[in-house]
Amino acid sequence: MIKSFIRTVPHYPRHGVQFRDITTLLKDPLGLKVTVDELFSRYENQKIDKVVGVESRGFLIGTPLAYKLGVGFVPVRKQGKLPAETLGHDYELEYGSDRVEIHTDAIERGERILLVDDLIATGGTAIAAAALIEKLGGEIVECAFIIDLISLGGRDRLAKKGYSMFALCEFEGD
C-alpha cells in the first residue's frame, strides 16, 4: 500500500536515475497516517528511548513517530547546521564525501535508539549516523526506512556492520 503513494520521477537528479519521491506520500493524509502507524506498530512494544532522524526527510517521519512512541527526537544534520557542540562523521558518496553531525548532548550512554530515514540506497548515510549514535554511547535498536532501493546494497552494508534494518517497501534500481 505504501508504494502506491510514492511518485517515481525519471531522470532526476540526473539522467538514468529513477527518483523515489515521498512528497506525494506526505501530502496524502492516508499515506502519512499509514506510514507512521505501520512504523509505530513495529516499535511500540520495543524499548526505544529516542528516535534519531537523518536530515532532512528522516525528520518528516521520525518526528511524528517519536511523538507517537512517547520519546524524544534527535536530528542528525549536515555539517554546520547544528548550533551547539557537535560530533561529526565523514562518509563517502558516489562522487565525493560528506559529513553528518549530532549534538554531543543528544544521547545518553545506554539509550536505545531507533534510526529513521526516508530511504536506504548504499547505506553510507545510515552507517555514518549510526556511528555517531554509538560514539555517544547509544545502542541502535534498528534502522527504519520507508523505502529500500534493494539493488544498491544498503541492507547488506548495514548487516555487515551489525545493524538490523526494516523498510516499509522496496524498489529495484535507483
- With both helix axes pointing from N to C terminus, report the angle between 29-43 and 57-69 in degrees, rounded to the nearest 10: 60
Closest CA to 149 of 54, 8, 23, 5: 8
Task: Work out the number of other CB atoms within 10 angstroms of the CB of residue 59.
Answer: 18
In the residue annotation, 57 being an active-site residue is answered as: yes
Q: How far apart are CA 169 and CA 148, in angstroms?
A: 6
Q: How far apart are CA 25 and CA 160, in angstroms?
A: 31
- Name the active-site residue from 57, 99, 134, 139: 57
- Name the active-site residue from 14, 85, 94, 109: 94
In the residue annotation, 85 being an active-site residue is answered as: no
Q: In Å, what is the CA distance from 173 to each residue of 120, 147, 155?
A: 12, 12, 14
Residue 150 DSSP code: G
Q: How far apart are CA 71 and CA 116, in angstroms?
A: 14
Cβ atoms of 67 and 40 within 8 Å: the answer is no
Active-site residue numbers? 57, 94
